[in-house]
A and B are shown apart, each in its own frame.
Chain A
């Protein structure tokens, strides 16, 4: 079996992480949050994108961890960074002027225009059904990065007709909104889920299913979406994880235990 051999057994989360990692081009600068984005970015760096610049909002620019960090302030990020800067500097000097190519975001709710909620779900703002952590760096990452990659599990709770709170703007209410709002970054270029890949329609900005992961049907993807999900004419099935991608990903996941012991 060669490194490029397609594997036959993987989890939906592994497929999602691999698909997200493939979106990251070598030599670009990527603003990374903890969890799936960090795992995918480190997978990319360990496979096809060795010169990917990882930027963590704790102030670590160009971090090169050899294990998965357990938080955005993990000491291994500072130890391996090209530069450690203050938090105001990360946002003012690096993110705000558009120096960062890709922002990697998760979502508790996502709508058809890629708007993201990580603040409150249900009820109203002052008495929510579920209080989520809030904005963090996301609103300005969504506004100012060259483009945004969203990584999120696809289900009816998350893929909603309307988000209960706009924490981070995707395409607002449709074409032209980002320009009207003065948002200088390009917005969500792609949404990677455990079922497939969604991309904004060039004319309507509406998220459209363009790829399914192997073994997933379009009916499954549509059933897991809270709006009438548009499907691209040339809907394709993405490549399964290669043996190398899976081996590196599993080795990275195993390093989380090392991090705990340190």
Chain B
């Protein structure tokens, strides 16, 4: 049964230096508050995994938490490039960042394989692109039934997956709805999981299109209202599009980024 914890304790116990960490969310329900707590607690040498590393990963990379990034699209959605990510790749600032790069289809299937307890996933993908030339984690495989050549990618098994959801009950059953991306697969693929939620309620009212993660499949739940900001939680908040737009200027230079990080992350402290 998932343990109800504070955000500070959840990150302290579940996210360790050197871990493979997935903070998932597809534009919606991105666990920003948890990412900030990881920065505040000074985690190092993380392998960050995510299909769409966006602003929270830009912050984690700029803060020096990451050694390696496994991803399929790294940008500021609807705005442009991630400047901290680019600075790390192009100039090794604040430290070098190793990349392992995939397509969305490949990453999604890697989580599915992890959640399914399989060593790899098979798909029609990557063929003819330059992506397989830069990682050993994309390989051809022959179908034993038809002889057709397909592509294999290894399962993702994060040490810990962190996601944000709308609600949980007191037994740690988690409920999310709207665009739920790859969060279910990412949680089930991981050895440990931390879910931040807008609120903890006595009873989960059914919602159309909901995804429920049973409490016994989740390690810990922390109540963090607004924990997805500037992303959003459908039914609770709307996306702060101005923040994403403004991030372009904030993140463009190292000094403005550092000042932002001090003001809004280090000095802010965990809300929960």
Stretch with Cβ within 8 A of A (4 or more), from B40-48, B78-86, B259-267: B78-86
Flag whether B75 is at the interface (Cβ < 8 A): yes
Chain A residues positioned under 8 Å from B136 (CB to CB): none
CB-CB contacts below 8 Å: A184-202 with B: 184
Stretch with Cβ within 8 A of A (4 or more), from B3-11, B163-171, B178-186: B178-186
CA distance A10 to B78 in the complex (A): 24
| B166 CB, min distance to chain A CBs, angstroms | 13
Flag whether A119 is at the interface (Cβ < 8 A): yes
CA distance A259 to B27 in the complex (A): 15
Query: Inter-chain contact count A-B, CB under 8 Å?
Result: 173
Chain B residues positioned under 8 Å from A215 (CB to CB): none
Flag whether B272 is at the interface (Cβ < 8 A): no
Q: Is the CB of A58 within 8 A of B28?
A: yes
Chain A residues positioned under 8 Å from B71 (CB to CB): 134
Interface string of B247-272 (1 = CB under 8 A from A): 00000000000000000000000000
Q: Which residues of A contact B (CB under 8 A)?
A: 34-35, 57-60, 70-75, 77-78, 84, 86-88, 91-92, 95-96, 119, 125, 127-140, 143-144, 165-169, 172, 177, 181-184, 259-260, 262
Q: Which residues of B contact A (CB under 8 A)?
A: 26-28, 51-52, 71-75, 77-78, 81-82, 85-86, 89-90, 101-105, 108-109, 111-112, 123-131, 134, 148-149, 178-182, 184-185, 209, 211, 232, 234, 238-239, 241-242, 244
A-B contact pairs, 30 of them (CB 8 A): A34-B77, A58-B181, A70-B239, A73-B181, A74-B239, A75-B28, A75-B239, A78-B234, A84-B179, A86-B184, A88-B182, A91-B105, A91-B109, A92-B112, A92-B123, A96-B123, A119-B101, A130-B90, A131-B81, A134-B72, A136-B72, A138-B103, A139-B125, A139-B126, A140-B103, A143-B128, A168-B129, A169-B127, A172-B128, A177-B128
